[in-house]
């Protein structure tokens, strides 16, 4: 009796094209064919780190795929691509795709010798708009803050911490004027993201110094012997009680002034005697405009620091009318909390 045995043989063909993509997005695929004779089992195709394989060009990608079964395996196309999770720092040239099967000699199929690459994705990290109460102190640099937002993270990744620089070289002291300061974010770290996979753009935020809300209108009015509502004018000086509360004054005062310059910029001032009223407690003010004295629109306020129409210095607010604005009425509205 003559016994013969033919070893399983894996057969491949095809040349890989170079692959490139941006981090977080899978590349377009390249392909090769694989088949076999006298196979004891299917051919397991295992991709190297950063690659993934499938027998369908536009779906089903994974680290491995099994082609055929025992017996003869006809030539089958296997698609290869750079995965969305492939890191920017990886080496993807001349990496071996391994073909293995029972009793068959493993076969290495190298990727393109050059040109395989992953580019960084764009990531924007923005400092949130914040406020600091007048009369309080705040450190100039805060590390590990959560007061930021991100745009552009891939693969469901997260950023753990961002350093926020409020005032280089010192503290925002207790007597910091009522104004705005830039918040500079930097040094994103932690979380699940890898900084080298991204080109990071940092966007500044704004810190607004606001009046202390520690004394309510009711307490202020009672302390100063005022029984009328905030809308009343107890001393007949043309300034409602609520505005006087906001300005921290009780005697006869000069009403807030409105000045329009030639560029269409309104300056609204509520300072009294050129001094910032350190006893002012009113925490909410709004600059509103109208074309008919019926419908009013908020164009700036100290409750919305993202409003770019607001430029607040000491006890003044400036607002620039938009180009082409017609007849416009402007008013200062205070909510006496």
Q: Report the 10 Å Cβ neighbour count for 228.
A: 11
- Sequential pLDDT tens for the chain (337 residues): 455 556 788 888 888 899 999 999 999 999 999 999 999 999 999 999 999 999 999 999 999 999 999 999 999 999 999 999 999 999 999 999 999 999 999 999 999 999 999 999 999 999 988 776 655 666 777 777 788 999 999 999 999 999 988 764 444 554 454 456 788 899 999 999 999 999 999 998 877 665 555 567 777 777 667 777 777 877 777 778 777 777 666 666 666 666 666 566 667 665 544 434 434 455 567 778 888 999 988 877 766 544 434 334 445 666 777 777 788 888 877 776 6
- As for how many domains the chain has, the answer is 3
The answer to whether 95 and 110 are in contact (CB under 8 A) is: yes
- In-domain check, residue 2: no
Say yes or no: 221 and 325 in one domain: yes
- In-domain check, residue 233: yes
CATH number at residue 326: 2.60.40
Say yes or no: 321 and 227 in one domain: yes
Say yes or no: 158 and 222 in one domain: no
SS (H, E, C) 43-67: EEEECCCCEEEECECCECCECEEEE
Per the structure, the complete domain to which residue 165 belongs is given by 121-210
CA triple 139-145-150, angle to 5 deg:
135
Burial class (CB in 10 A: 0-12, 13-18, 19+), 295: exposed
- In-domain check, residue 1: no
CATH number at residue 158: 3.10.430
Q: Which of 118, 151, 183 is the last residue of a domain?
A: 118
Please state, in angstroms and rounded to a whole number, the distance separating the CA atoms of residues 67 and 73. 8
Q: Which of 118, 138, 162 is the last residue of a domain?
A: 118
Q: Which residues contact 321 (CB under 8 A, 6 or more apart)?
A: 264, 265, 266, 289, 328
Q: Which of 179, 210, 241 is the last residue of a domain?
A: 210
Say yes or no: 203 and 231 in one domain: no
Count Cα atoms within 13 angstroms, Cβ side, for 215.
Answer: 17
Q: Report the 10 Å Cβ neighbour count for 206.
A: 18
- In-domain check, residue 103: yes
Say yes or no: 179 and 254 in one domain: no
Please state, in angstroms and rounded to a whole number, the distance separating the CA atoms of residues 89 and 156. 19
pTM of the model: 0.62
């Amino acid at each position: 009796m003559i016994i013969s045995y033919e070893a399983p043989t894996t057969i491949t063909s095809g040349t890989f094209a170079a692959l490139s993509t941006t981090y977080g997005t899978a590349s377009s695929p390249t392909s090769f064919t694989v088949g076999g004779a006298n196979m004891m089992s299917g051919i397991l195709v295992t991709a190297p780190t950063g690659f993934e394989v499938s027998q369908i060009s536009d779906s089903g990608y994974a680290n491995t795929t099994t082609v055929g079964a025992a017996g003869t395996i006809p030539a089958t196309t296997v698609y290869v691509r750079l995965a969305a999770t492939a890191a920017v720092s990886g080496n993807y040239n001349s990496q071996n795709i391994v073909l293995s099967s029972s009793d068959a000699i493993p076969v290495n199929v190298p990727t393109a010798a050059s040109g395989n690459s992953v580019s960084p994705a764009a990531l924007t990290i923005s400092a949130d708009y914040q406020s600091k109460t007048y009369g309080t102190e705040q450190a100039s640099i805060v590390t590990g803050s959560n007061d930021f937002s991100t745009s552009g993270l891939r693969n469901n990744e997260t950023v753990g911490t961002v350093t926020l620089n409020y005032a280089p070289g010192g503290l925002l002291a207790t007597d910091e004027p009522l104004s705005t300061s830039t918040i500079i974010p930097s040094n994103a770290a932690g979380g699940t993201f890898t900084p080298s996979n991204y080109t990071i753009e940092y966007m500044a935020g704004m810190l607004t110094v606001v009046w202390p809300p520690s004394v309510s209108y009711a307490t202020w009015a009672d302390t100063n012997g005022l029984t009328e509502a905030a809308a009343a004018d107890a001393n007949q000086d043309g300034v409602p009680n609520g505005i006087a509360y906001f300005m921290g004054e009780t005697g006869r005062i000069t009403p807030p002034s409105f000045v329009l310059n030639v560029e269409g910029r309104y300056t609204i001032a509520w300072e009294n005697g050129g001094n910032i009223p350190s006893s002012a407690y009113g925490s909410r003010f709004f600059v509103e405009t109208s074309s008919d004295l019926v419908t009013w629109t908020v164009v700036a306020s100290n409750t919305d620091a993202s409003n770019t129409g607001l430029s607040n210095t000491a006890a003044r607010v400036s607002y620039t009318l938009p180009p082409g604005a017609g007849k416009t009425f402007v008013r200062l509205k205070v909510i006496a909390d």
